[in-house]
Amino acid sequence: MKLRIQFTKHGSMKFIGHLDTMRYFQKAIRRSGIDVTYTGGYSPHQVMAFAHPLGVGVESDSEIMDIEVGSFDLIGGPDAGKNTIGNERECLLKALNDQMSEGFTIRDIRLLPDDAGNAMASVAAASYEIYGLPADKYDVIVDAIDQIMSADEVMIMKKTKKSEQLVDIRPGLYELGIRDGVLCMRVDASSAGNIKPDTVVKTLCEKSNTDPETFSYTVTRTEIYGREKNGELKPLIEFGFKTDWLT
């Protein structure tokens, strides 16, 4: 059985890198007593997958990880044996939340349907908020946003280790706007067309003649989305069931 876990990563936890975050959760799950499944062999590890790695320095309201469990019981940890039938989700949620350090909070745990795709391949989009835009530049930035969103294509130079390549990011920019002084965006986050929030900020700076060195901003990821069969974006967590785990 596969569980999907949604968690936040705030404050100083933004300095914990992706691999260290995975290791952090492996230990937290052990402490919680959740009946996670292990691979075999001499150094067994938990069956666990993260939807989308989060860069060091970026906070998040909604990270997604899937784990496989043998049962909904708590087989160890402080709440061992305490979970009640019909209340499995709440018990696991509490057990894992009790193991969190400041900055990590478990928001939700859902049971995935058997046919759910794996977390990483399911990612279609992500939304971000950018704080710290220079207030005196709002007007020009708003103009630049209009310009970008009404254009047919937005070509940028994408550098990889080996080469430089012109790519069009316009198709992957689903939403872009300023709300209460915060730059909000929803962009492609699939493995084929992932757009980094920094790339969008850089493009906006270029189009609005803003020197990126004159201000520093912070990034918060607010949601990760998958795509429904009809093509609509839906938060990844909602692909799982909240109730009726035993039926």
Note the helical H segments in the chain: 18-32, 88-97, 119-122, 138-150, 197-207
Q: Does 117 bind another protein (CB under 8 A)?
A: no
Whole-number Cα distances in Å, 122 to 13, 46, 185, 191 = 25, 20, 19, 9
User: In this chain, which stretch among 9-17, 160-168, 178-186, 188-196 interacts with another protein, using CB under 8 A?
Assistant: 9-17
Task: Give min distance, CB of 107 to another protein, in A.
Answer: 17
Q: Which residue has the tokens 């004159």?
A: 214
Among 3, 5, 28, 95, interactor with another protein by CB under 8 A: 28
Segment 70 to 89, residues that bind another protein, using CB under 8 A: 76-77
**Shortest spacing between CB 13 and another protein, in angstroms:** 8
Site for another protein contains 38 (CB under 8 A): yes
Given candidates 23, 70, 113, 232, which one binds another protein under the rule CB under 8 A?
23
Query: Residue 208 is encoded by which pair of tokens?
Result: 């609005």
Identity of the residue numbered 53: P
55 and 62 Cβ atoms separated by less than 8 Å: no
Cross-strand pairs, 221: 60, 128
* Interface segment toward another protein; rule CB under 8 A; list 10-18, 82-90, 149-157, 186-194: 10-18
Does residue 24 interact with another protein by CB under 8 A? Answer: yes
Q: How far is the CB of 165 from another protein (least distance, A)?
A: 27
Regarding 43 and contact with another protein (CB under 8 A), the answer is yes
Closest by CA position to 105, among listed 119, 116, 94: 94
